[in-house]
Amino acid sequence: MRLQNKNVVITGGASGIGLASVIRCLEEGANVVLSDLAGSEGAARAAELDGKHGGRCLFKACDVTDTAQVDRLFEETVNELGSVDAVFSNAGIGGVAPSHKVSDEEFLRIIDINLNGVFRVARAALRIMYGQGSGSIVNCASILGKFGQSNTAAYSAAKGGVVNLTRALALEAAPKGVRVNAIGPGYIDTPLIADLDKDLMNALIAMHPLGRLGRAEEVANGFLFLASDESSFVTGTTLMIDGGFTAGKS
């Protein structure tokens, strides 16, 4: 049990990579706060998992664009569980459109959720972890945090920001016993891309040298490693879980 009795907060936990990460953490003995938007399937998912895992999963609604909600998420977690040992800042949205057709509102919304939201979560978590003298924060970046792609200006900008934000936070947090890392998934077989047409899906598959899309559980395993003591000498890095997508790029 790699996370036995650890308390873990996962944002964007109602589906996809977030939900897979919730499940893996529960399997490894953690108490997990599954957080997602009010009105999402998060409450139902948490209730179901709570029943399967001996009362170790609870749901807390949180919109990461709202500082008050983020701060309350962590305050309530500490009040109820006593500590925050690991965080997966996973809440995010996609966005595909030619840049000349993207409005200010669309661009800023993607940045606010995918980058500013990651900062809000990290800030709230660090306040607690500094007091503890320990903790692990993992931010969800992307292959597009390392390399740009057409029609993804806002998303690529946000995820590139997450990669460098992770480095900066890691340097600040290291002297206080807290590690900060990121994960860079390739294209993952989740509901986010389930409706793509066959030709586009095949094109995405072809981008990955391993010849397939990733699975949400594979990304969750990366989070599990970075959250656990197995990665005790790892901070400031972005772990690419991308089927070789970035291996041939410089």
Catalytic residues: 155
Q: What is the spatial distance between Cα 47 and Cα 44, in angstroms, rounded to a whole number? A: 5
Burial 60-72 (b: 16+ CB within 10 A, else e): bebbbeeeebbbe
Residue 167 has which token pair? 């480095």
Distances (CA, A) of 224 to 26, 58, 206, 210: 11, 19, 28, 22
Question: By the 8 A CB rule, do 18 and 214 touch?
Answer: no
Task: Determine the straight-line distance between the first and last CA of the chain, rounded to whole angstroms.
Answer: 38
Distance CA 157, CA 121 (A): 19
One-letter amino acid at 181 equals N
Contact 85, 125 (CB under 8 A): no
The DSSP symbol for 214 reads B
- Full DSSP string of 162-189: HHHHHHHHHHHHGGGTEEEEEEEE-SB-
Q: Quick check: 88 and 11 in contact, CB under 8 A?
A: yes
Tokens of 91: 């809440």
